[in-house]
Amino acid sequence: MPRTGRLAAGPGHAVRVAGIPALALALAVLAFALLWFGTLGVRHLLGPDEGRYAEIAREMLVTGDWVTIRYDGLKYFEKPPFHMWVTALSYTLFGVGEWQARLCVALAGLAGVAASMLAAARWFGARAGWLAGLVLVSAPMWNAAAHFNTLDMTLSGVMACVLAGMLLAQHPRTTRSAQRNWMLACWAAMGIALLTKGLVGLVLPGLVLVAYTCATRDLALWRRLHAPAGFALMLGVAVPWYWLVARRNPEFLHFFFIHEHWQRYTSTVHARKGALWYFVPLVLGGFLPWLGMLPAMVRTVRHRAGAAGTAGSAGTSGPAPFQPALMCALWAVSIFVFFSLSGSKLPGYILPVFPALAILAGAALTQASVPAWRRQLWAMLSIGALGLLASPIVATLDSNNTPNLLYRAYAVWVALAFALVCASTVAALWLRHRHGRMASIAAYALGMLLAFTVGLLGHEAIGRSASGIGLAAPIERVLRPGMPLYGVGMLDHTLPFYLRHPLTMVAQPDELAFGTEQEPQNWLPTVDAFVDAWQHGPRAVALLSPATFAELSVRVPMHVIARDWRRVAVANFPVAGVR
C-alpha cells in the first residue's frame, strides 16, 4: 500500500492521493468547481447586501474614484473598500453582471477552503486536509455565503487565511525562515481584513491569541509572531487607504471608528438586536451535516491532537508544544462569544468560526470509527426524511413581503433539496460497504453541497421578483442617462444596479443618512420638495411602494411604467406604449 499523502502506483493499483484514487479525486474536484463557480450567475441579486455592494462597485468603476466610497452618489463609509475593489476589478475584466458581482465571495470561500486544507494537512496529515476541505465546502452556511454577495464572506475567507498562517508558522518542523514567511502572510491577511470590515480584522485574532495564551500559559508563542515586521506589514497594507480617505473626507474617522465600530458593538443603534443565543441555531444549522462529529472534535481538542511528539511534550525538555486543535477550538469559541455579546447581530457575523470547525472535523474524521460514521449517516438520513416530510409547510407561508404564490413555488425546491440529502446519505451508506469510509465521506460531502446548492438556487422562485428584474427592461426604455431616478420613501437596493443608474433619495434617507447629511444637495428631504421637482423639474422616473403611489398619484400626474408587488415605477411624462 502507498503511504498516506503520497502519489503511488503499482501493478493492479490506481494512482492514489492521500489514499484516494486520483481519478475519483479529479472528478470530485471538477464537480466541486462546477457547482462552486458555475452557479454564481443563476440567481438574481437580492437586497439589501447583494444589490448594495454590486452597485457600489459599479459606481466606483464608473467614477474612477476608488478611495471615497459612494452609494447612489452619496458618501458611504460604513465599510472599507477591499470587497468593492475586487468586485470592480471583476467588472473590469469580465463586464458588469451578477456572477461578476459574486466572484469575490466565491474566491474568498475557496481561499478559506484551501487555507484550511493546507493547515489541517500540515498538522494532522494529508487525509485530514482533504477531509477538512470536504467538511467546509459542504457546511451549508459556508457554501451558501460563498454565493451571496456580502462582505462577511470576504472577511471570513481572509480570516481563514489568518488562522491557517498562524497554524502553519507554528509547526515544530517549520524552519525559521518559513515560520517568518508564514507569520508575515498571517499579518498581511490581517491587513486585508482591516480593509474588508475594519478593526474586527485585528481584534478577533488578538482575542483568540489572548485566550490561547491564558489557556496554555505559552508566552513563548508571542516571540514567534514576528510582531515588529508583521505589524509594520499589516499597517502598510491597510493604512494608505485610511489615510487617503480621511484626508479627502475629514468626517470619515469619527463616523467609521466611533459610529460603525464602538456604537455598533456596544448598542442597538443599528436596530439589529438579537438574544444571547442568537448564533446558536445558525452554527448548528450551518454545520448540520457534521454535527455528529462534535463529540469526536471535542476529544481531538482534549487529547491535544497534533501536539503529541513535538518539543516540550511529556518527558521532554524545551518550550511548551503548540496545540493546533486547541487553537482552532478557541478560535471558534472566542469569535462566537464576541459576537454573541455584541449589541448588533447579523447571521453572517458568525461565518469565521466554520474554517476552524472544519479543521477539527477533518482531524476527527481520520480517527472516527466505522460505527461512529454509520451513526452519523443514519442521523442525517433521519433529518433529511423529516425535512422532506415537512417541506409542504413552506407552501403554506405568507407575508407582506413575499406572497404565498412564491412560497408555493419555492416549496418544490426545498423538497428536492431534502430528497438529495436523503439520496446522498443512502449513497454514502452503500459506498461505505463497497469502497470504504473515505469514498463514503467524499460522496456524502459532495451530495450535501449539491443538495444545499439546489436549495439556494431554488430561492430564485422568490428572489427574481424581489430583485425587480422584471421592471428593469420597461424602465430602461424610458430612463435616459442623466435623468433623475427618484426613490420616494424607499431605498431600492437592486434596481439601480440593473438599471446602471443611481437613485436620488426622497423623504427617507434609510441607511444613506450619513451621506445625505454630508451632501444634502444630493437628495430631496421632503415629499413636498419631490412634488415640486416632479411638476416643475426635468423629465424623471420614480420608484415608489404601492401605498406611496396610491397616496401621491392623487396629488401629481404619474404615468405608470411598470409595477410588481413591491414597487411601482412611474414617469412625470406620458410613456409611449403604456396606458
Per-residue pLDDT of 41-61, as tens digits, reads 999 999 899 999 999 999 999
**Is pLDDT larger for residue 480 or for residue 25?**
480
What global pTM score does this model have?
A: 0.92
Same domain, 462 and 478: no
Same domain, 261 and 389: no
Q: Which residues contact 6 (CB under 8 A, 6 or more apart)?
A: none
Residues 500-517 have pLDDT tens digits of 999 999 999 999 999 999
Task: Tell me whether residue 199 is in a domain.
Answer: yes
Q: How confident is the model at residue 576 (pLDDT cuts 50, 70, 90)?
A: confident
Task: Tell me whether residue 544 is in a domain.
Answer: yes
Residue 98 has pLDDT above 50, yes or no: yes
Low-confidence winner among 68-77, 142-151, 199-208, 308-317 (lowest mean pLDDT): 308-317
Same domain, 146 and 81: yes
Specify the pLDDT at position 145: 96
- Which of 451, 466, 481 is the endpoint of a domain? 466
Rounded Cα distance between 338 and 332, Å, is 10
Segment 394-421 mean pLDDT:
91
Q: Which residues contact 474 (CB under 8 A, 6 or more apart)?
A: 561, 562, 569, 578
Q: How confident is the model at residue 9 (pLDDT cuts 50, 70, 90)?
A: very low
**The residue count for the chain:** 579
Same domain, 121 and 235: yes
Q: Is the dihedral of CA 223, 228, 233, 239 positive or negative?
A: positive
Same domain, 230 and 131: yes
Task: Tell me whether residue 480 is in a domain.
Answer: yes
Q: How confident is the model at residue 265 (pLDDT cuts 50, 70, 90)?
A: low
Rounded Cα distance between 505 and 199, Å, is 30
- Which of 437, 466, 495 is the endpoint of a domain? 466
* Alpha carbon of residue 442 to chain centroid: 23
Q: In the beta sheet, which residues pair with residue 74?
A: 71
- Biggest CA pair distance of the chain: 88
Please tell me the total count of domains within the chain.
3
- Residue 250 has φ and ψ, to the nearest 5°, of -60, -25
Q: How confident is the model at residue 419 (pLDDT cuts 50, 70, 90)?
A: very high
Same domain, 254 and 330: yes
Same domain, 259 and 147: yes
Residue 31 has pLDDT above 90, yes or no: no
Residues 333-383 have pLDDT tens digits of 999 999 999 888 899 999 999 999 999 999 999 988 888 899 999 999 999
Residue 8 has pLDDT above 70, yes or no: no
The strands making up 20-21's β-sheet, listed across from edge to edge, are: 8-10, 13-17, 20-21
Q: In the beta sheet, which residues pair with residue 305?
A: none
* Rg of the chain (C-alpha set): 26
For the chain, give the mean pLDDT.
91
100 CB-side CA count, 13 A: 17
Nine cell digits for residue 234: 499589516
Residues 228-239 have pLDDT tens digits of 999 999 999 999
Same domain, 243 and 117: yes
Residue 312 has pLDDT above 90, yes or no: no
Task: Tell me whether residue 524 is in a domain.
Answer: yes
Residue 5 has pLDDT above 50, yes or no: no
Q: What percent of the chain has pLDDT over 90?
A: 80
Task: Tell me whether residue 59 is in a domain.
Answer: no
Rounded Cα distance between 81 and 79, Å, is 7
Task: Tell me whether residue 364 is in a domain.
Answer: yes
Nine cell digits for residue 77: 463609509
Same domain, 414 and 342: no
Range of the domain at 321: 77-368
- Which of 423, 446, 466 is the endpoint of a domain? 466
E runs forming strands in 50-180: 70-71, 74-75
User: Which DSSP helix (H) or strand (E) runs through 75?
Assistant: strand 74-75
Q: Exposed e or buried b for every residue in 188-227, given b needs 16+ CB within 10 A?
A: bbbbbbbbbbbbbbbebbebbbebbeeebebeebeebbbe
Pairing of strands 13-17, 8-10: antiparallel
Same domain, 185 and 105: yes
Task: Tell me whether residue 409 is in a domain.
Answer: yes
Residue 404 has pLDDT above 80, yes or no: yes
Residue 97 has pLDDT above 50, yes or no: yes
Rounded Cα distance between 448 and 50, Å, is 24
Same domain, 376 and 525: no
- Residue 570 has φ and ψ, to the nearest 5°, of -135, 160
Task: Tell me whether residue 37 is in a domain.
Answer: no
Rounded Cα distance between 137 and 150, Å, is 18
Q: What percent of the chain has pLDDT over 70?
A: 92
Same domain, 117 and 210: yes
